[in-house]
Structure formats: C-alpha cells, structure tokens
Structure 1
Amino acid sequence: MLRLALSPRWWVWHILTLGAMATCAFLAAWQWGRAGSAMGSALNVGYGLQWPLFAIFFGVMWWRFLRLEARRIAGKDADEQVPPPVEAEPVQEVHEPAPAATTPVAVDEEPEDGEGPFGVRRKAAQPVEDDEDPQLAAYNRMLAKLAEHDRGR
C-alpha cells in the first residue's frame, strides 16, 4: 500500500485532499472567530462546527479510495467480501395466458377549458343516474348545476 500511496497519481490526490482539509480548517477557524466577534451569531457557530466535519469527510474518503485502489491492485474486488447468496429451491413456473389487449382510448388534443399545462382544467359533469342512492343522486345533481353555473361565468 505504501508503494501505491507514493505513486505520482496518488500524490495529486494527497495534495488535493490536504488542500481541501486545510481550507476547511481555515474556514472553521474563521467562522469560529467571527462567532466570537460583536457581529457574530449562532449561524457562525454552526458553520464553525460544520467545516471540521467537511474536513473529516475529505480525509475519510481519501483513506477509503486508497484502500479500494489497494484491494483492486491486489486482485480483491469489493464484491468478494460479500458472501455468496444461498441457493433456494427452484420455483415452479406458472404459465397464465396474457390479458387481452385493450384498445387505446382517444385523448383530446386540446382540452375544453384551461389556460395552459398548469392552469385549472375543468371536466364535463358526469350524468346523474337516478337509480343510485337518492341522496347521492341529489348531491350529484346539485354539483352538476353548480358546475354549469360556474361554466356560465
């Protein structure tokens, strides 16, 4: 792993990671100092605590990528660490006929009402059937009248 860490490609990653961590440390110190000043606030304290977490993230990801690269070179993929799945008994296949194809319903190209794709689009009132529940039929008739009245505006 030391040979990998000293390769020219990884030197670039070392420098970038250290630069990112140093930048996060500088920003954390700046925010913490700003929080203690007369113009500071709780927001500065929050950022002062957040920047070190970002620096830790950069360090952890650098270490993780270095380890993954070392495993790849050693011939061990990350998938090899997962145990193979346990084989279950085969399931008998059930052959059912496919459902009958339905004919597509024609869609109006332009809606009757509505100003645009995000505007209110009103649909035509459904016909009221009197053989339903009488209260429901009366309610539906009232809604149909209100829709017609609203459409007349």
Structure 2
Amino acid sequence: MSGGPITPQRVSIALLCVVTLVGCCGLAWWQWTRFESAAGTFQNLGYVLQWPLFGLFPAFMVWRIRRLDAQRGAEAPKTEPPVDAPTPVVTVDAVSAPVVDEDDELAVYNRYLADLNARDSR
C-alpha cells in the first residue's frame, strides 16, 4: 500500500491526529493527578486509561479508512466499457378532473381563492 503524494489535506489530518493525541494525553495526566490527590477515586483512574485511547482513535480511523479504500481498489473490476442502459418507456394515464361537490368546503374555499387571484391579476 503506497502512501501517495503529500497533500495539504493529508498534512492537516495528520496534525489533527497529533493534536488530539497530545490533548488527550494531557487530560490523562490531569486525571492521574486527580487520582493521586486525597479526593481521587477509581473513576479518575479509569479516565487515565480512557483518555489515551480517545486520543488514538482518530489515527486508528484514518488507518482503517485507508485500508478499506485499498481493499476496494484491489477488488474493483478493471476498466470495462460502460454498458448503455435501455431507455425507459414512460406511459402516463389520463387524469380525470375531480368531481366538484358544492358541499365540499375545501372545493368552495379553493374556488374563492381562485376568484381572488383572478381579480388581483386584472
């Protein structure tokens, strides 16, 4: 698996991974000092173990995504000529106008709005 060219995007992703790791290791150290204090609990010790894992997670995801992309590239079929899809045939049935019922409040209201629109258009 080749690394490919160094691009600004790759550099920024690498810097983000390093900053995340350094920040999370700093938080782990802070939790260690809390654990050693008189008020420290085993919850703080658990955080000491969790923070470095959180810091390594972005680097793991970058590695995993690159590995999956390489696998997809190896499995992709070699360039074959594209197959033209058949042209779909579209048929449309005639739509009949709905039956207008004078007792239908919605139909009466729509006719009222149509009349108002016609008056505004003049």
The equivalent of 1:38 in structure 2 is 38
Q: Which runs of 5+ in 1 are unaligned?
A: 82-153
Q: Deviations over 1:28-82 (max 9, x none)?
A: 111012101112111111111111121232221121233345x28xx716xx38x
Of Structure 1 and Structure 2, the greater helix share is in 2
2:43, 2:36 → 1: CA distance? 11
- Larger RCO (alpha carbons 8 Å, 6+ apart): 2
Instruction: Give the paired residue count.
Output: 75
The equivalent of 2:17 in structure 1 is 17
TM-score, with normalisation over the residues of structure 1? 0.43
Shift of 1:3: 2.8
Q: Which runs of 5+ in 2 are unaligned?
A: 77-122
Structure 1 segments (4+ residues) deviating >3 Å: 66-69
2:62, 2:37 → 1: CA distance? 34
Q: Name the Cα RMSD after superposition.
A: 2.3
TM-score, with normalisation over the residues of structure 2? 0.52
